[in-house]
Amino acid sequence: MSRLLVRDLAQVASPAGSGTPLRGADLRRLESIEHAYVLCGDGAIEGVGRMRDLPALEGEVEEIDGSGLSAVPGLVDCHTHPCFAGDRVHEFSLRAGGASYEELHATGGGILSTVRATRAATAEELTAATLRHRGWMRAHGTTTFEGKSGYGLDRDTELVQLEAVRAAGGVPTWLGAHTVPPEFDGADAYLDFLLADVLPDAARLAEAADVFLEHGSFDAAQARRYLVACRSAGLALRLHGDQFSECGAIPLAVELGARSVDHLEATGPEGVAMLAASGVVGVLLPASALFLGRPMPPARALVDAGAAVALATDFNPGSAYCESLPLALSLACTQMRLSPEEALAAATVNAAHVLDRGDRCGRIRPGCRADIVLLDASDWRHLAYHFGGDVVHTVIEGGSVVFRRRA
């Protein structure tokens, strides 16, 4: 049995409680151990406690000196778009000059510009790009990530994207209904194609389906049609909703029992109350809101109302070219009024719940998968406090070191 001991840690911090998702006061509850160790065996956490209580270990054990370091659970990024070709740096410059996201999209830019580049790439190039982006996430402490398609909008490229996410070790989500490609005369005709020609194969590769419910993409009736068909094919349901306007995303997510509705920058009090009374998780994407100059999602109102929330990066080439979950945690604390404890739970336990992995990811606890992030600070709160810095020292996935920052 392969074993790894991280010893002499200044601090180990992990969301407390059992079950997922966490809500309300439970989001702030933390298990913290000073001068601690974490013992991993066969990919799982075998033990965690104070160094003075470390039992005698027999056999070969790899050791990591954690002196001066703190440990948190591996971060879980439950909303990313990592499989794409090209970039949109030119659009970034135009937006800096005053062009809006909606204006760029209406003139063939935005999502469709990435679609053109992604369709032109080979399967090998898309897999290499996804692996590269996965490496960026890992260097910022992400040990589990979700990856969406949605930059193909045709049969072959959509399937290649899902395969690339799987090859990179991610959780694939089919975002076939991202926007309407130019070769189709409207959203309904495009949905006819998606559900007849792509869904059967996408359902074999993906774990969930997602739709962009927004003016200019898909309305609530079209989103319902797509999601109901995907649910019948065995996929979990997710929605991009309330990013620019309230178009019925939260009522639809609640009606269909979706796992999450993501963005919520435009969500008002009624939407907050409806989400809080449901089992749907609100996935908050503060880097996207910042990048586009949009209002931040109403995180404090959602948590205070009792809603389950998660944090993610929304990593993508157009509206959130950001692979850093620590930066998302910083924004959650400084711009959305979440406490560091709430932000940590939202980016670990609750994000894992969105991906149906809440029973094995998101906590440093015996029996959980040995995904651990060592921080170059004696207090775990530096994860959010160190704004955009190199706070991640070492990343452990399944009991093996996969990243170590160079001195």
Instruction: Give one DSSP letter per residue of 233-264, joined into a string.
Output: TT-EEEEEESSSS-SSHHHHHHHHT-SEEEE-
Rounded Cα distance, 109 and 323, in Å: 22
Q: What's the rounded Cα separation, in Å, for the pair 368 and 365?
A: 6
Banded model confidence at residue 96, pLDDT cuts 50, 70, 90: confident
Instruction: Quote the CA–CA distance of 319 and 313 in Å, as a whole number.
Output: 10
Q: Is 128 helix (H, G, I), strand (E, B) or coil?
A: helix
Mean pLDDT over all residues of the chain?
96
Question: How far is residue 75's CA from residue 324's CA, in Å, rounded to a whole number?
Answer: 10
Q: What is the DSSP string of 294-315?
A: PPPP-HHHHHHHT--EEE---B
User: Could you give the 3-state DSSP secondary structure of residue 357?
Assistant: coil
Residues marked as binding for Zn(2+)?
79, 81, 240, 314
Closest Cα partner for 285 from 142, 40, 78, 9?
A: 78
Residue environment code for 323-361, b if the CB has 16+ CB neighbours within 10 A, otherwise e: bbbbbbbbbbbeebebbbbbbbbbbbbbbbbbbebbeeb
Nearest CA-CA partner of 284 in 322, 242, 252:
242
- pLDDT of 196 above 80: yes
Residue 1 has pLDDT above 70, yes or no: no
Full set of structural domains in the chain with CATH: 3-73+363-404 (2.30.40.10), 76-355 (3.20.20.140)
pLDDT grade for 100, boundaries at 50, 70 and 90: confident
**Do residues 298 and 264 lie in contact, with contact meaning Cβ atoms separated by under 8 Å?**
yes
Distance CA 181, CA 187 (A): 9
pLDDT reading at 33 higher than 70: yes
Cβ–Cβ under 8 Å, residues 110 and 104: yes
Which residues belong to the annotated binding site for N-formimidoyl-L-glutamate?
Answer: 151, 316, 318
Binding-site residue positions for 4-imidazolone-5-propanoate = 88, 151, 178, 243, 319
Distance CA 312, CA 289 (A): 12
CB atoms within 10 A of CB 13: 24
Q: What is the largest CA-CA distance in the chain?
A: 69
pLDDT tens per residue across span 214-257: 999 999 999 999 999 999 999 999 999 999 999 999 999 999 99
Task: Give the pLDDT mean for 24-29.
Answer: 96
Q: CA-to-CA distance for 373 and 297, rounded, in angstroms?
A: 27
What pLDDT, on a 0 to 100 scale, did the predictor assign at position 108?
64
94-103, 255-264, 371-380, 385-394: least confident range: 94-103
Cβ atoms of 390 and 376 closer than 8 Å: yes
Burial of 126-143, coded b for 16+ CB within 10 Å and e otherwise, reads: bbbbbbebbeebbbbbbb
Average the pLDDT over 57-77 and give the result. 96
- Interior CA angle at 93 toward 89 and 98, to 5°? 140
Where is the binding site, in residues?
79, 81, 88, 151, 178, 240, 243, 314, 316, 318-319
Please give the share of the chain, as a percent, with pLDDT higher than 70. 98
Give the percent of the chain with pLDDT over 90: 91
pLDDT in tens, 147-182: 999 999 999 999 999 999 999 999 999 999 999 999
* Mean predicted confidence (pLDDT) in 61-72: 97
Residues 269-318: tens digit of each pLDDT: 999 999 999 999 999 999 999 999 999 999 999 999 999 999 999 999 99
Query: Cβ-count burial of 232 within 10 angstroms (0-12 exposed, 13-18 middle, 19+ buried)?
Result: exposed
Among 1-5, 43-47, 242-246, name the one with the lowest average pLDDT: 1-5
Cβ atoms of residues 46 and 40 within 8 Å: yes
Residue 362 pLDDT exceeds 90 = yes
Confidence of residue 92 (pLDDT cuts 50, 70, 90): confident
Annotated binding site for Fe(3+): 79, 81, 240, 314
pLDDT at res. 403: 97
The one-character DSSP state at 213 is B
What pLDDT, on the 0 to 100 scale, is given for residue 161?
98
